[in-house]
């Protein structure tokens, strides 16, 4: 029987530290992409979103660009509320350990 060759991705995530880093960066990208898409769909500017969410435009811009990686649930919730989204806590479907 032939041994299956591992992909670069499979080799990469064998290392737990690299796997955690990959999934953390992926989650950050998702937030950034969601925010970009919602703002584009609603035709809302950074300044208008910031004003309606009662946060600094710098926070919005940092989330949008992926530079802001540590924000409170309250702040994120206010921003998402303005663009018609909400935070939902659900069990993990896979392990990111």
Q: In whole angstroms, how far apart are CA 22 and each of 13, 14, 17, 51?
A: 8, 12, 9, 33
- Angstrom distance (rounded) from CA 8 to CA 76: 34
- How many domains would you assign to the chain? 1
91 domain-assigned: no
CATH number for the domain harbouring residue 76: 1.10.260.40
44 domain-assigned: yes
62 domain-assigned: yes
Residue 18 structural domain? 13-82
Threshold 0.85, pTM exceeds: no
94 domain-assigned: no
CB 82 within 8 A of CB 54: no
Predicted confidence pLDDT, tens digits, the chain (97 residues) = 677 888 988 888 888 999 888 888 888 888 889 999 999 999 999 999 999 999 999 999 999 888 876 889 999 999 999 999 998 888 877 655 4
């Amino acid at each position: 029987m032939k041994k299956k060759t591992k992909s670069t991705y499979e080799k990469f995530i064998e290392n737990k530290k690299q796997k955690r880093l990959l999934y953390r960066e992926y989650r950050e990208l998702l937030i950034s992409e969601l925010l970009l898409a919602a703002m584009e769909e609603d035709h809302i500017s950074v300044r208008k979103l910031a004003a309606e969410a009662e946060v600094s435009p710098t926070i919005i811009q940092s989330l949008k660009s992926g530079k802001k990686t540590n924000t409170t649930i309250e702040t994120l919730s206010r921003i998402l509320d303005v663009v018609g989204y909400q935070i939902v806590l659900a069990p993990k479907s896979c392990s990111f350990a």
